[in-house]
Amino acid sequence: MKITLDHLTKKFPNRDKTKGDVTAVGDFCFDIPDGKLIGLLGPSGCGKSTTLNLISGLETPTSGRIFFGEDDVTKLPPEHRGIGLVFQNYALYPHLTVRQNILFPLQNLKGKNKLSKEQMNEKALEAAKLVQIDELMDRKPSELSGGQQQRVAIARALVKMPRVLLLDEPLSNLDARLRLQTREELRRIQQKTGITTIFVTHDQEEAMSISDEIVVMKSGIIQQIGKPQDVYDSPANLFVAKFLGTPPIDVFNGTVKGGKLYIGDEAVLPAVGVEDQDVYVGIRPEGFILNDKGAFTCQLQNVEVMGRDTSVVSTHKESLNVTIRSIISAENKVDTASKDVRFDLKPYKVFLFNKETEKRILFGGQLAADVPAEMEESLDTAAGRTDSQSK
């Protein structure tokens, strides 16, 4: 089921009456393709849950419309939308067994949708098998682990074979190992059922690992939509660049002058195609190449060997991060007695951002890279480049 969110906006009245309404979701436009898993990602309060609640019908939009396929469902109550919902707290009925919990949504079906007892049991078992809890059908929720309880909640959401599955931070209550396992399982179930799924999380790694596409939000506004790797490799602005990646991107104050990028006094890269200006420079931790004669000098703090990779921790007076983390192959040897450490930079791992708008500025080889047209347009504007310069 394809979902279309058409200029969706939700405003809440401000508790402080002297201030204007709170825009939880602002002009959200997105076509969610059929059968895909979409990760809604952003910091706390950015409007992820409100977006999900609008899609489920638990909230009504202030303006804008929602379509499931060709059907306008904007005014349809949640129970008629054909959705399955899973929340962070599993909200299972404690006095009911696993089987009874899963059966619950089927027992409420009325009219032509009403099922016989056999049909209901068959469907409940099918859903339980899908999430691999069919052995636990007679237990009560208190006799299950957190991961098993969450699987019961997923089975309960799946039992009616919803048109759309909505998951709000479904893994937050699980410990690290179980989180990893359950997220892989979620992906497997989603691919097996082919149900269009929207998954809300503030955990970028979680969203990136299982989503077909991610939507990065900030203050109710979409910052970027795309395949996880594309968004990581080509962030539209500084917020997105900082939000994605572990360890996080290293950010510096820099200057473009005469076609060169300077950090401090050092010209660290050619910056062809960019007007002279001050910029933010984002460098992915894997964008550093250790080189005694490298163009970029940082002050060495310490070296952490992590098996396959080495993390070089350093500082620089133009760095916005307290420390800079550079990930290099463990085969490289760092002279730990040295005060300084020098690097060359991989140009495609270096991003420039406009100091005012914080939008990305393409430079050098990035100008020729395969950048979506609409993104190139916004990047061009940010860079202050004219048409003739950008081609």
Least separation in angstroms between CB 172 and ligand ATP: 9
Residue 65 CA to residue 342 CA, distance in Å, equals 54
Write the DSSP string, 33-63.
-TT-EEEEE-STTSSHHHHHHHHHTSS--SE
Binding of residue 388 to ligand ATP (CB under 6 A): no
Tell me the two tokens of residue 102: 């899963």
- Count of residues near ligand ATP by CB under 6 A: 12
Consecutive H or E run containing 187? helix 176-193
The rounded radius of gyration (Å) of the Cα atoms in the chain is 25
Binding of residue 354 to ligand ATP (CB under 6 A): no
Among residues 52 and 102, whose Cβ is nearest to ligand ATP? 52
- Interaction residues for ligand ATP, span 16-55 (CB under 6 A): 22, 24, 42, 44-50
Binding of residue 314 to ligand ATP (CB under 6 A): no
Least separation in angstroms between CB 137 and ligand ATP: 32
Q: First CA to last CA across the chain, in angstroms?
A: 39
Among residues 16 and 370, whose Cβ is nearest to ligand ATP? 16
Q: In this chain, which of 202, 218, 257, 355 binds ligand ATP, going by CB under 6 A?
A: 202
Residue 10 CA to residue 12 CA, distance in Å, equals 7
Taking CA atoms, 58 is separated from 75, 88, 166, 295, 357, in Å, by 11, 16, 12, 55, 35
Strands 250-257 and 277-283, by their bridges, are antiparallel
CA 362 distance to own-chain centroid: 23
Least separation in angstroms between CB 78 and ligand ATP: 16
Among residues 214 and 361, whose Cβ is nearest to ligand ATP? 214
By the 8 A CB rule, do 136 and 151 touch? no
Least separation in angstroms between CB 180 and ligand ATP: 20
Binding of residue 260 to ligand ATP (CB under 6 A): no
Q: In this chain, which of 7, 12, 60, 108 binds ligand ATP, going by CB under 6 A?
A: 12
CA 382 distance to own-chain centroid: 24
Binding of residue 78 to ligand ATP (CB under 6 A): no
Binding of residue 58 to ligand ATP (CB under 6 A): no
Give the binding site for ligand ATP (CB under 6 A): 12, 22, 24, 42, 44-50, 202
